Amino acid sequence: MTDAASSPDQAGDDLAFFIDLEPQDSDMMAEVVEGLSATPKGLSPKYFYDQRGSELFDRITMVPEYYVGRTEIALLRQIGAELAADIGPDATVIEYGSGASVKIRTLLDALEKPHLYAGVDISRTFLLESCRALKADYPDLPIGAICADFTRPFEIPAELFGDHWRLAFFPGSTIGNFTPDQAVDVLKAIRSELRPDDSLLIGVDLKKDRDVLERAYDDSQGVTAAFNLNVLHVINRVLQADIPVENFSHRAVYNEEKGRVEMHLVAEEAVSFTIGGHDFSLEKGETIHTENSHKYSEEEFNALAARAGFKPHRIWIDDNRLFSVRLMRAV
């Protein structure tokens, strides 16, 4: 664990703090090599989000089939007054996966005099950009940035968040990217930055019709396909690999038994490539599993969150029962 709290001028501007826990590229090499050496082959979805991947994800949120982002934003707008009443004034807001710009603005606008905003993200560039953009719009709100991989336990100076009620904000159903056991660990890591009766506001996608789910992850404009394929470009660039991206295609399928949409990259013909001195090959038709997006019923998610020390406080669901926004309390 590094202790890399830096002064505001190292962050280059008027952020209240910038903590860089330096999530390592060497972890990426080891993880990618391990994932592609396994049977079946797999990659962590966190590598989707380089600059282009983040831009492609933004475009996914605008395709008609992908209901997740817009449904969550509409819910957040509707529930502002109830949320403000539940959270109270002067809250410290900690956002996991910074950059969901419309969502955090909707939340900050709803709350009464938030005390501090802290963004936590693995991408240093994206984190600093989104925190600076937020600072420009909320000049009177202290804004801090924490560069960290929140899928692993991380430690930040205890005094950083101060004495106010804390609200952890984890939108977008990002929690769905993890298997249920991993999700419990992520929620435990979030829980460890909270005290009893602090809050977690989390977006959780609901179980629904297979067709709706599969279309949401295979849109007709091919944006999700480009997003999925981009992870191979990321590996080629960051790890100096030579994966022939043009030989892969995108596949999305709802695995009903596991309650998740899976994205895969399918080798359209036999391919071979090298990453960091390791040789890999895929037969025609072999796949790389790139993402899971778990869907939960209300009860399923309650049970999962309970294992991490959260109890349900309120749940809001849209009229079409597509998506849930949940307010949970730390036990």
Q: Which residues bind ligand AVJ (CB under 6 A)?
A: 60, 68, 172-174, 176-177, 217, 224, 291, 293
Give the shortest CB-235-to-ligand AVJ separation in angstroms.
17
The tokens for 11 are 């962050």
Give the shortest CB-25-to-ligand AVJ separation in angstroms.
22
Give the shortest CB-68-to-ligand AVJ separation in angstroms.
5
Shortest-Cβ-distance residue relative to ligand AVJ: 293
Give the shortest CB-252-to-ligand AVJ separation in angstroms.
8
Indicate the residue among 198 and 205 with the shorter CB distance to ligand AVJ. 205
Indicate the residue among 226 and 306 with the shorter CB distance to ligand AVJ. 226
Indicate the residue among 18 and 67 with the shorter CB distance to ligand AVJ. 67
Indicate the residue among 178 and 280 with the shorter CB distance to ligand AVJ. 178
Distances (CA, A) of 224 to 121, 201, 254, 261: 22, 26, 15, 13
- Backbone CA torsion sign across 257, 258, 264, 268: negative
The tokens for 247 are 């030989």
In sequence order, what E strands does 172-236 have?
A: 199-205
Stated as kind and residue range, the H or E segment containing 223 is: helix 223-238
Question: Could you give the CA distance from residue 58 to residue 50 in angstroms, rounded to a whole number?
Answer: 12
Give the shortest CB-262-to-ligand AVJ separation in angstroms.
10
The tokens for 289 are 């599993």
Stated as kind and residue range, the H or E segment containing 301 is: helix 298-307
Indicate the residue among 92 and 177 with the shorter CB distance to ligand AVJ. 177
Under 8 Å between Cβ of 70 and 146: no
Indicate the residue among 287 and 293 with the shorter CB distance to ligand AVJ. 293
The tokens for 21 are 């826990």
Return the closest-CA partner of residue 164 out of 228, 210, 118: 118
Indicate the residue among 92 and 174 with the shorter CB distance to ligand AVJ. 174
Give the shortest CB-208-to-ligand AVJ separation in angstroms.
13
Give the shortest CB-54-to-ligand AVJ separation in angstroms.
10
Under 8 Å between Cβ of 122 and 23: yes
98: helix, coil or strand? Answer: coil
